[in-house]
Homo-oligomer: A and B are copies of this chain.
């Protein structure tokens, strides 16, 4: 059996085991047994538990980012792009529940070598979302009206595009985990739920609505 193939098998088994058991509880014995080889071969190819875990994180995070960004239609309206990305995200995490578990639950609770890789992935997604939000904000207010546009841009940008993007990604991550462990929730349904939750809100936000402690009821239910 050629090495590349074996390495792929090992990573598959490792992702599954790390995802189910967690980094600490996963044992190299179990991984080797899943592949049907002896432990020394795993070490020969992947050096250590730590490196194996890091390799899993890297592979899964790259696969996820690729899946999410694969279907983008550059010219499409921002909300359509977001919808496409969300469907891809939920579909990918549904098909790779162990990989998603590794990224979402395991990788973040173990020191720097691992968290950094996840942070990189998250930043890629946040950047993607941030771009969409910025574009939509500009559209909503019409590009020709520069004064307005500047105000709107600053409103949205200054306010906290970054925070909103974080919230969106966090919501998506959490929903993905929930969708994975709740039977009967499809990727499209999860994406729709999130659009209802986030986009409809974001859309109004772009249109200039703001929630404040005092006047929220009026503006919210206008």
Question: Hey, which chain B residues are within 8 Å of A173, CB to CB?
Answer: 170, 174
Q: Is A217 in contact with B163, judged by CB distance below 8 angstroms?
A: no
Q: Which single residue of chain B is at the shortest CB-CB distance from A173?
A: B170
Give the most central of A23, A173, A204, A207: most B CB within 10 Å: A204
Could you tell me the distance between the alpha carbons of A207 and B217 in the complex, rounded to whole angstroms? 12
Per-residue contact bits, chain A 144-177, to B (CB 8 Å; 1 contact, 0 not): 0000000000000001101110111111111101
Q: Is A198 in contact with B105, judged by CB distance below 8 angstroms?
A: no
Closest Cβ–Cβ distance, residue A141 to chain B (whole Å):
10
- A193 at the binding interface (Cβ < 8 Å): yes
Could you tell me the distance between the alpha carbons of A126 and B139 in the complex, rounded to whole angstroms? 35
Per-residue contact bits, chain A 193-204, to B (CB 8 Å; 1 contact, 0 not): 111111111111
- A8 at the binding interface (Cβ < 8 Å): no
Question: Hey, which chain B residues are within 8 Å of A219, CB to CB?
Answer: 200, 203
Could you tell me the distance between the alpha carbons of A193 and B213 in the complex, rounded to whole angstroms? 12
Question: Hey, which chain B residues are within 8 Å of A106, CB to CB?
Answer: 109
- A59 at the binding interface (Cβ < 8 Å): no
- Could you list 11 A-B pairs, sorted by A, with CB under 8 Å? A79-B216, A79-B220, A159-B192, A167-B193, A169-B174, A170-B170, A170-B175, A196-B211, A200-B201, A203-B221, A204-B204
Could you tell me the distance between the alpha carbons of A80 and B215 in the complex, rounded to whole angstroms? 10
- A66 at the binding interface (Cβ < 8 Å): no
Question: Hey, which chain B residues are within 8 Å of A201, CB to CB?
Answer: 196-204
- Say yes or no: A196-B164 contact (C-beta < 8 A), given A170-B173, A174-B169, A175-B170: yes
- A3 at the binding interface (Cβ < 8 Å): no
- Say yes or no: A195-B211 contact (C-beta < 8 A), given A105-B108, A201-B201: yes
Q: Is A220 in contact with B200, judged by CB distance below 8 angstroms?
A: yes
Closest Cβ–Cβ distance, residue A118 to chain B (whole Å):
12
